[in-house]
Amino acid sequence: MKWVNTNKTLPPYFLNKDENSFARKTFLSRKPAIIKKIINANNFNEIQRKALEGLSDDLTGGIVRDPFTEFPYSCDGLDPGFKEIWDVELLPYIGKRWLDLPFYFAEALLYFEILVASGYFDTSSGFFMKDIYQVFKDEELLGDNGAMKNTASIVSDLVTRKDAEGLIKELIYLSLWGNRIDLSMYHIVKDGKNLFLNKDHQKRLLIDHSDAITSFILNTERIDFVLDNAGQELVCDLLLVWAILMNT
């Protein structure tokens, strides 16, 4: 099975300024809430808190500033090659409102600027290369309703399954829904049900290609895995990888 894009023109970007859009609501409410949670979860000093609060304020009406000159912390610990890339990519957007940016670029830039504002790339900072999301990851994995408790019961059930196709398909869904678990939907982690599929979860999907994906997995010669999640999301992905390795 091979997909070929015959359309030579790319669709327009999702923009943060589109009224009533997911992108706009994300930058007006979800992202400021995430920054607040990060501040509350870490022992930041006043400089870090003010930098992050200022960034949060900019999201809802301010402009994009140069992260290499506008924050109190330097980026001397950042690979120079990455700085060169950011300098080029940022050029068209410096001085524009966050709400006027393409959604994905704005999201990537925001998480980079959160790290800069917290001193992550400053070798003299107490937070140099310190994971400011560690407290959330620990709670997802080791908390009262964390993945380490839920996963054991799931695996004990999965190892008895003989239907490879059905098993892989179910874990595709689990991996998909596992990606709901970000800081703006932290209640999913806390309710203890995040590693179990809701019986009507398929009704919530706009598009479902799970049959084609499962068929491809079971009939292809080689699969390369790239796992870029952490915490509980990673557990969902690892369960899928385990099932694929056991059945192909």
Q: Is 95 left (phi over 0), alpha (psi -120 to 50) or beta?
A: left
Looking at residue 223, its pLDDT comes to: 92
Listed residues 84, 103, 132: the one ending a domain: 132
Q: Which of 89, 243, 69 is nearest to 172 (CA)?
A: 243
Residues 61 and 84 in one domain: yes
Query: In terms of C-beta density within 10 A (0-12 exposed, 13-18 middle, 19 or more buried), how is residue 192 classed?
Result: middle
Confirm whether 9 is domain-assigned: no
Confirm whether 109 is domain-assigned: yes
Dist. CA 194–CA 180, nearest whole Å: 9
Looking at residue 32, its pLDDT comes to: 95
Say which CATH number the domain at 52 has.
1.20.930
Parent domain of 77: 22-132
Q: How far apart are the first and last CA of the chain?
A: 17
Looking at residue 183, its pLDDT comes to: 53
Q: Between the CA of residue 115 and those of 71, 112, 177, 192, 229, what are the distances in Å?
A: 11, 5, 27, 29, 17
pTM of the model: 0.76
Residues 74 and 52 in one domain: yes
Residues 156 and 125 in one domain: no
Residues 125 and 150 in one domain: no
Listed residues 114, 132, 150: the one ending a domain: 132
DSSP letter at 45 equals -
Number of domains, the chain = 2
The phi and psi torsions of 130 (rounded to 5 degrees) equal -95, 130
Residues 63 and 100 in one domain: yes
Residues 73 and 122 in one domain: yes
Rounded to 10 degrees, the C-alpha dihedral 156/230/237/185 comes to: 90
Looking at residue 187, its pLDDT comes to: 44
Chunked in runs of 10, what are the mean pLDDT values of the chain (248 residues)?
A: 60 84 90 95 97 96 94 96 96 95 94 98 97 85 68 75 88 81 49 53 82 94 88 84 90
Residues 154 and 241 in one domain: yes
Who's near 39: CB < 8 A, 6+ residues apart?
A: 49, 52, 53
Residues 152 and 213 in one domain: yes
Looking at residue 86, its pLDDT comes to: 97
